[in-house]
Chains A and B, each alone.
Chain A
């Protein structure tokens, strides 16, 4: 079943995420495709996350699709102007890729090529507008396409924005993204369920499926690092303590992720698991959460 079908059937959707390596070795993509097969509805492929140069999302999505998975092509506005964005999107459609996640993209200075020229010709709201336009059979300039795509566009939201202004800005932008055609949202990692519930109450009127982000915690140190450095991530002290006390850290991390998923099941329409190196533990997380097929 595809992500679109799962969400349209109002089934609790599960998506995973992979970040390709720097280089041409695609063996891990094939390995993960096998591991995820039948266990998740779709798999996101990041677009050079954190502005670190890697193998492209488009190629990796194609490889996943060949293995029978439904890929989600992540597209950022960081590296491509409107010509490249449109051309890459048409290329994706020609390869049968339907899900596209529109993002702004981290600033180049955060990555391993800080000398790069930032592009941001469009922003994420304009990118969604553009995807809807391609779906209608026209490019940005108004020229008719010979063969049109049928993308299922999605977007992201950060429900843990740390200032009142940042939170309001996230909500207004989310509203604009829906107006410009976003059919689903994947969120920044959620740990604080009370704050997430408050967020869900404020956006439920939009009527768009929300997949809550899950990043399994590998160690207390990682949790602290995310609290310090990742915008919108707030791991409560109680969870950090649990990780500190645990003798089997991997097991505890999987357990915490599974507990979060169980709680989230009643709040939103799915979960998006960003394992960041722990992809092979995703089946264990799903099993412990009671979601495994």
Chain B
């Protein structure tokens, strides 16, 4: 289980400004359980988008977007609608958004923020793709996360230390910002690089007090406290 919550509607409409034909993708795994990405939520978001004058050219909910092979095969069946879309709006965790972004050559916007569960994961086996930062920026970066793909987690572009496209800290790793650059170039969205991203609120990355107080989280026996 990985927990997500819907982004504020104003934020979503803000980054959808230049995209009118939208393809909605939900996730029937953790996102449906979170109340953000199941069929019911997709229908509600579709209604909302249409009220705002957007056209929804496709809509589908996939069982676990993080199962990347499934994403491609499901979307292939809807290739006409995929081609007709200006952009995708993905109602899922950060891994789901990145999985869709890697499968389609279209801008993929995150409809949700991924909330920290302090390390409890969905089907995805690690923290290396989504830090559960609670304030997703994948719409600026072409669906590639700068927090996890850039070794330094820089938000406003490359550090200048890369050599031949490889990270200064680990030559076996691609420079995350060069990957972001190439993706944005493919999408015709290089202007996104000019947007200043303010310092992150890292307190959003901590698991909530409510979660930490659950018996599920505790190792100590109640009587030993």
Contact = CB atoms under 8 A, between A and B. Distances in A.
Interface of A: 82, 104, 106-107, 109-110, 118, 120-126, 129-130, 140, 156-158, 161-163, 165-166, 168-170, 172-173, 175-176, 179-180, 188, 231-232
B contact patch SS:
loop
A126 B198 contact: yes
Interface in B128-181: 151-165, 168-170, 175, 177-178, 181
Nearest to A78: B152
B189 interface: no
Contact of B196 (A110, A129, A157): A129
Interface of B: 151-165, 168-170, 175, 177-178, 181-182, 185, 190, 193-194, 196-199, 202
A232 B158 CA distance: 13
Contacts of B197: 126
A175 B193 CA distance: 10
A166 B175 contact: yes
A161 to B, nearest CB: 7
B134 to A, nearest CB: 16
A187 B185 CA distance: 26
A124 B217 CA distance: 37
A176 B154 contact: no
A157 B160 contact: yes
B178 A166 contact: yes
A110 B168 contact: yes
Nearest to B158: A169
Given A106-B161, A169-B193, A231 B154 contact: no
B196 A125 contact: yes
B182 to A, nearest CB: 6
A120 B160 contact: no
15 contacts: A106-B161, A126-B199, A162-B164, A163-B164, A163-B165, A165-B178, A166-B162, A168-B181, A169-B158, A170-B160, A176-B156, A176-B157, A179-B196, A231-B161, A231-B163
A173 B165 CA distance: 17
Nearest to A126: B199
A125 B157 contact: yes
Contacts of A123: 152, 154-157
A106 B64 CA distance: 38
A250 B164 CA distance: 31
A126 B156 contact: yes
A173 B156 contact: yes
Contacts of A126: 155-156, 197-199
Nearest to A175: B194
A121 B202 contact: yes
A165 B182 contact: yes
Given A126-B198, A165-B182, A170 B158 contact: yes
Contacts of A173: 156-158, 160
Task: List the 7 shortest-distance A-B pairs measured between CB atoms, nearest first.
Answer: A107-B169, A125-B156, A173-B157, A158-B160, A104-B159, A169-B158, A165-B181
A118 B152 contact: yes
A170 to B, nearest CB: 6
B204 to A, nearest CB: 14
Given A107-B169, A163-B178, A180 B160 contact: no
A126 B202 CA distance: 14
Given A126-B198, A126-B199, 20 more contacts: A104-B159, A107-B151, A107-B152, A109-B169, A126-B156, A129-B196, A158-B160, A161-B160, A161-B162, A162-B164, A163-B164, A165-B182, A168-B190, A169-B157, A169-B177, A169-B193, A173-B156, A176-B194, A176-B196, A231-B168
